[in-house]
Amino acid sequence: MAECPGEETLDRFITGALDAAAERDVKDHLDLCDACREVVAVVGREVQPSQRRSLPDDLLGGRYRLLRLLGQGGMGTVYEALDLTLDRPVAVKILREDTALDALARFRREAAAVAALRHPHIVQVTDVCLVSPRGAYLVMEKLEGESLRSIVSRDAPLAEDRVVSLGLQILSALGEAHARGLVHRDVKPENVFVTPTVALPDWARLLDFGLVKELPAAGEQPTLTSGHALVGTPAYMAPEQARGLPLDPRVDVFAVGVCMYEMLTGRRPFSGTGTALVASICADTPPPVGVLRPDVSPGLARIVERFLAKAPGERPDALEAARMLAQVTREVPPTIDDAHRPSSQPSREVRRRRTGQRRRSLLALFGAVLLFTLLVGGAALVVAFWLAGRAPVSP
């Protein structure tokens, strides 16, 4: 933020009415501008809840005190809140009061779907309320970090290893959802949140199951999208999704392919807007990753192209896609055929672990034998001394 924010922006900052991104911009500016920092200090950030224009002036559900606005969407608003019962920060998504009935039905599907999923790469829902004076809401874990969209916008093109790691985590989350008969239908960088952790520098979590669709049960016929309406974000739609045709889980794999293409190249595979974008998705072949990014291993480039196949039958499912990515290395780029063929030989890492296990087993066996020998020898000495003590003494 090169110029000083206006009075209205500072006022919204003080009252907590800015979204998370705008609030970060103001905070960054305040670090550099003494004049604006003095204004904020004079007015004060500690305001009463009733003065926060974007927040209700009482508790939500008698338990969650809303603290600040995190973001707004077509269906509702997300706030940072404090769970007074457990004394921990949470995120609360409140459905808009003027939401149509179909959106309410989607909200209920999202709540039910996410609450049933337990996976380290899917945001966890901790509470759901479908009827309250303020409308339906769901409570999720409060995540620290940033969206994949922010990372791509700032850092793309990303390093190959980083793209593979993020892709694996997203596919792992989708594999869990698909196994439970759920298709996300809106996988995109905005719906992936990345948190730095000790275990992994980029820990990804899949968000926003508002467009989730249950797969038809065995024997049921799949249905067309109502009115052939586009459901999802056009730039990340598979051809069959853009046409309003019946969907299966591989529609999400296509979206992962778009995300990975964008992470690797810094651009989306299909351009245009509206009907031109849909036509491009359905008919055009995007520029190869290897042409736009020659340093990317050929194996990874071909795998991303496989994810972007026009026909669903030519794409892998989420778990197969994850196995393909897991075998991508810079030293030995796999071919598409080799990428999803199980190896008959254990990997170097597996052989190393097995060797270590055998060594530990031998050491344990040697130690047990040595201990047994010492025990037996010690017992023999004790018996010998005892017998010597009972022997009759010669006159």
C-alpha distances (whole Å) from 122 to each of 93, 140, 172 are 16, 11, 9
Per the document, the length of the chain is: 395
Question: Is 25 a residue of the active site?
Answer: no
User: Residues 264, 296: contact at Cβ < 8 Å?
Assistant: yes
Of the candidates 186, 202, 248, 252, the residue annotated as catalytic is 186
Catalytic machinery residues: 186
